[in-house]
Amino acid sequence: MSARAKLFSVGRRRVDTFTLANGLEVVVLPSSRAPIVTQLVVYKVGSADEVPGKTGIAHFLEHMMFKGTDTVGPSEFSRIVSKNGGRDNAYTTYDSTGYYQTVSPDRLELVMRIEADRMANLRLNEKEMTPERQVVLEERRMRIDNSPSALLDEVVQERLFGHDQPYGMPISGYVADVDRLTLADLMDFYRLHYMPNNAILIVGGDTSTEQVRGLAEKFYGPIPARPVAPRRRPDHGAADLPQTVTRADPRAVEPRWSRHWLAPSFNKGETQYAYPLQVLAQLLGGTETSRLWRALVVDGKHALSVWAGYRPNSLGLSSFEVGVHPAVSVKMADVESAVSAELARLIDGGVSADEVERAQNQLLAAAIYSQDSLQSGPRIFGGALSTGSTVADIAAWPERISAVRSDEIVAAARYVWQPSRLVTSLLTPQSGSR
């Protein structure tokens, strides 16, 4: 029996797609497993589409999208969803902004109507904007400023991708920029990016394609298309790599050593390495059976935990990350030496077929589980389709992961793990420790 025959089989889920006359892409993921339905509208715009001096505008606008239209009063959007037994929320990433509601199937028409309304008819005023600015800044204080690791990660992003570059600016924005944003700035950003031909409507759950088509044409269909601004992402990172950044912070609960390398994505750079890099991240640091875990936690006793990560769904370049929480009294230099030795061992000695198969099966199992989730399913489609992938690419992902070979993984590692592509970061509880 071949290694390929031992891999999990991921059945193709039913996916129906169509595009309205105004350019709105619609994806339907029918599932009758539970009597609920999720609507997700994803706009192809995120913080990486901002310009220097106006950072944080995509996230600020996400908040202001809940402030009303001519027919829905300020802050009434979420109240309407809640009164009808549903829940809603929104998110902003570097490359996209999404708004979603989960309701019973008989309330799908309601949430489509009010979501389409704010796509076309958002109304903003200073009275709503002033307190919401403080909400946005407080969210940043809670999630970023109060987290030593999050503050360090922002510096890593800036050093890796470059100052004032799309992925080098924080999603939440710089405080001084958010303080300066005006009502006109928000409305200009809204008019420039919020339109049906720059959006994807994804509906998953207990519904039919025919019903979704009828409702989409009724509520979204009348919204006119407008010219879409080009999206630009550089094909290179910062010019002054490698770099090392350190943060000594008494609030840090435990020290951390990590290293980020510039890496290709599905859309930018040496894209042939995207699938091998996903398998590489899994076998290197994805679980407690991974190479780094065995070498640094189990055998070497250098670490309490380790991880590796890579996300290929990026409109521009991405990054490959390795991180370690050192064991008590272990020096950062010893951690770095141990990690470097493992990376060199992989490049020089290769990876076995069994290792590759185990990592592939872990990734494929996660894909199987995600098909049962009304949250992760639409989010997977939204993240992929907003950054240049197609429905066919999503459907073919299990086969492409299954086809990755050991030599391709080593070639990807050799390409990415170069000094000219990396930023090393160290988080310590206080100055001079370890």
- pLDDT per residue as tens digits for the range 33-42: 889 999 999 9
Contact 354, 6 (CB under 8 A): no
Distance CA 393, CA 401 (A): 12
pLDDT in tens, 96-142: 999 999 999 999 999 999 999 999 999 999 999 999 999 999 999 99
pLDDT for the residue numbered 246? 97
Count of domains forming the chain: 2
Q: Are residues 202 and 339 in the same domain?
A: no
Shared domain for 257 and 190, answered yes or no, is no
Indicate whether 226 belongs to any domain: no
Residue 365 lies in a domain: yes
pLDDT of 371 > 90? The answer is no
pLDDT of residue 10: 80
| Predicted confidence (pLDDT) per residue in 321-348, tens digit | 999 999 999 999 999 999 999 999 999 9
Are residues 42 and 167 located together in one domain of the fold?
A: yes
CATH number of the domain encompassing residue 64:
3.30.830.10
- Concerning whether 62 is annotated as a catalytic residue, the answer is yes
* Per-residue pLDDT at 65 exceeds 90: yes
Check whether residue 69 and residue 170 sit in a common domain: yes
Same domain, 210 and 285: no
Co-location of 157 and 256 in the same domain: no
Contacts of 328 (CB under 8 A, 6+ apart): none
Confidence of residue 270 (pLDDT cuts 50, 70, 90): very high
pLDDT score recorded for residue 2:
42
Surface-to-core class of residue 154, CB atoms within 10 Å of its CB (0-12 exposed, 13-18 middle, 19+ buried): middle
Q: Average pLDDT for residues 291-303, to the nearest whole number? A: 97
281 and 211, same domain (yes or no): no
pLDDT tops 90 at residue 368: no
Asked if the structure places residue 228 within a domain, the reply is no
In a domain, 160, yes or no: yes
Give the C-alpha separation, 434 to 429, whole Å. Answer: 9
3-state DSSP assignment of residue 379: helix
Q: Which pLDDT score, from 0 to 100, does residue 1 have? A: 34
Residue 25 lies in a domain: yes
Average pLDDT across the chain, whole number: 95
Residue 167 sits in the same domain as residue 293: no
Asked whether 387 and 207 are in contact (CB, 8 A), the reply is no
- Choose the catalytic residue: 50, 62, 132, 342: 62
Any domain includes 282: yes
pLDDT tier, 4 (very low <50, low <70, confident <90, very high otherwise) = very low
What pLDDT shows up at residue 122? 97
Q: Is residue 254 part of a domain?
A: yes
Percentage with pLDDT > 70 across the chain:
97
Q: Which of 180-189, 306-315, 365-374 has the lowest mean pLDDT?
A: 365-374
If asked whether residues 329 and 193 sit together in one domain, one would say: no
Residue 70 lies in a domain: yes
Q: What is the pLDDT of residues 11-35, one digit of tens each?
A: 778 899 999 999 999 999 999 888 9
| Exposure of 277 in the CB half-sphere (CA atoms within 13 A) | 28
Both 196 and 276 in one domain: the answer is no
Half-sphere exposure for 313 (CA within 13 Å, toward CB): 19
Residue 21 burial (CB < 10 Å; 0-12/13-18/19+)? exposed
Of 254-263, 319-328, 361-370, the one with minimum mean pLDDT is 361-370
Q: Is residue 184 domain-shared with residue 303, that is, in the same domain?
A: no
Return the pLDDT at 13.
Answer: 80
Structure tokens belonging to residue 269:
């750079």
Per-residue model confidence (pLDDT) at position 431: 56
Range of the structural domain that residue 269 is part of? 243-428
Residue 3 has pLDDT above 70, yes or no: no
Do 182 and 250 reside in the same domain of the chain?
no
pLDDT at 179 over 70: yes
Point out the domain boundary residue: 171, 203, 219.
219
